[in-house]
């Protein structure tokens, strides 16, 4: 099967659809007519130079950033604009931030159970049992009683992944999850993400980790100046980039 056929075959089950999405920050046109479909079970890696709009793109999908025009659909439903409907939708979309954003006043265990208890109305004991399983899965079960500030960056980010997974999301968004980490901690987070990808989770990952894109990505989306310049399989993109922008970008990051 050629790469193109593989992509078209996968388009049969769209989970996240962005249709002609535009967004401005004042005069700056950060997202220019973005069309993107992510299928169930697919791992899409968004890369591009800084300021290309890739983080903004990621944040529009659970409406942490509003959009000026166009539409975004998740599992066939258009994003609600405000209120309870939006909160309910966000519960189904996991998000992992660059700066972890664990709740600083709550223990690791409480960080993971908060959404279950307050949004899903899960009984406390059930939520805690579930949280412990997830913390075990990301390798920080022995830290459950600590506060976030007592953990290393890599541990915090793994807890943040567990917190998002607790809600059993349909899709996970990763907004530069390893950019704030010390080099020796990047792999422990990437390993968790790779395991997640192999487990069939639908993922949209904004990252500079080309190794992750090669290992776990189904598709690479290359953005520059607010536009999607190129979409290809990781193998294709890294060995044979078509656009000048992509060639230029790859030359810069692969130099070292």
Partner 1 sequence: MDAVISELPKFLSGFQMTLILAVTSGVLSLILGIILAAMRVAPFSSLRGFATIYVETVRNTPLTLVFVFFVFVLPTLGIILPLGKVPAIIALTVYTSAFICEAVRSGINSVGIGQAEAARAIGLRTSQTLSLVIIPQAVRTVIPPIINVLIALTKNTSVAAGFTVVELTSTGRRLSLNHPDQVIPILLGVAAFYLLITIPAGLIAGAVERKVVFAR
Binding test (CB under 8 A) with partner 1, winner from 4, 28, 104, 251: 104
CA geometry: angle at 255 spanning 182 and 250, to 5°? 90
Closest by alpha carbon to 67, among 129, 121, 22, 107?
22
Alpha-carbon distance of 127 to 81, in angstroms, equals 29
For 109, list phi and psi in degrees, rounded to 5: -60, -45
Per DSSP, the residues of 135-153 read HHHTT-GGGTTS-GGGS-H
Q: Is 87 in the site for partner 1 (CB under 8 A)?
A: yes
Structure tokens that stand for 58 in this block: 């990621």
Name which of residues 15 to 74 contact partner 1 (CB under 8 A).
Answer: 62, 64
Choices 84-92, 181-189, 208-216, 242-250 (CB under 8 A): range interacting with partner 1: 84-92
Residue 93's SS3 state is strand
With beta carbons less than 8 A apart as the criterion, state whether 186 and 220 touch: no
Candidate list 36, 43, 48, 90; residue touching partner 1; CB under 8 A: 90
Per-residue contact flags (x/-) with partner 1 for residues 115 to 134, judged by CB under 8 A: x--xx---------------
In total, the chain counts a number of residues equal to 256
Q: How far is the CB of 39 from partner 1 (least distance, A)?
A: 22
Q: Which stretch binds partner 1 (CB under 8 A): 22-30, 46-54, 98-106, 200-208?
A: 98-106
Q: Which residues contact 53 (CB under 8 A, 6 or more apart)?
A: 23, 30, 31, 32, 223, 225, 226, 227
Interface with partner 1 (CB under 8 A), residue from 101, 152, 179, 227: 101
Q: Is 97 in the site for partner 1 (CB under 8 A)?
A: yes
Q: Cβ 73 to partner 1, closest distance in Å?
A: 18
| Site residues (CB under 8 A) for partner 1, limited to 192-251 | none
We find the least distance from the C-beta atom of residue 198 to partner 1, in angstroms, to be 24
Span from 50-58, 79-87, 137-145, 209-217 in contact with partner 1 (CB under 8 A): 79-87
CA distance 195 to 125: 27
Q: Which tokens go with 88? A: 């309910």
Q: Which residues bind partner 1 (CB under 8 A)?
A: 62, 64, 83-84, 87-95, 97, 99, 101-105, 114-115, 118-119, 147, 149-150, 160, 163-164, 167
């Amino acid at each position: 099967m050629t790469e193109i056929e593989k992509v078209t075959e996968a388009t049969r089950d769209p989970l996240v659809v962005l249709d002609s999405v535009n967004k401005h920050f004042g005069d700056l046109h950060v997202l220019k007519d973005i069309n993107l479909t992510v299928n169930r079970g697919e791992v899409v890696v968004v890369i591009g130079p800084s300021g290309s709009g890739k983080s903004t793109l990621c944040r529009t999908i659970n409406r942490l950033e509003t959009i000026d025009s166009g539409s975004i659909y998740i599992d066939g439903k258009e994003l609600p604009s405000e209120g309870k409907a939006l909160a309910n939708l966000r519960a189904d979309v996991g998000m992992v931030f660059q700066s972890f954003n664990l709740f600083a006043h709550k223990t690791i265990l409480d960080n993971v159970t908060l959404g279950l208890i307050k949004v899903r109305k899960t009984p406390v004991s059930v939520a805690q049992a579930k949280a412990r399983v997830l913390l075990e899965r990301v390798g920080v079960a022995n830290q459950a009683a600590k506060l976030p500030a007592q953990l290393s960056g890599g541990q915090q980010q793994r807890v943040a992944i567990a917190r998002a997974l607790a809600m059993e999301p349909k899709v996970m968004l990763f907004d530069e999850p390893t950019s704030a980490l010390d080099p020796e901690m990047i792999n422990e987070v990437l390993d968790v993400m790779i395991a997640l990808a192999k487990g069939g989770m639908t993922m949209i990952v904004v990252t500079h980790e080309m190794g992750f894109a090669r290992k776990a990505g189904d598709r690479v989306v290359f953005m520059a100046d607010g536009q999607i310049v190129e979409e290809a399989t990781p193998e294709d993109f890294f060995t044979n980039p078509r656009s000048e922008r992509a060639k230029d970008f790859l030359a810069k990051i692969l130099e070292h």
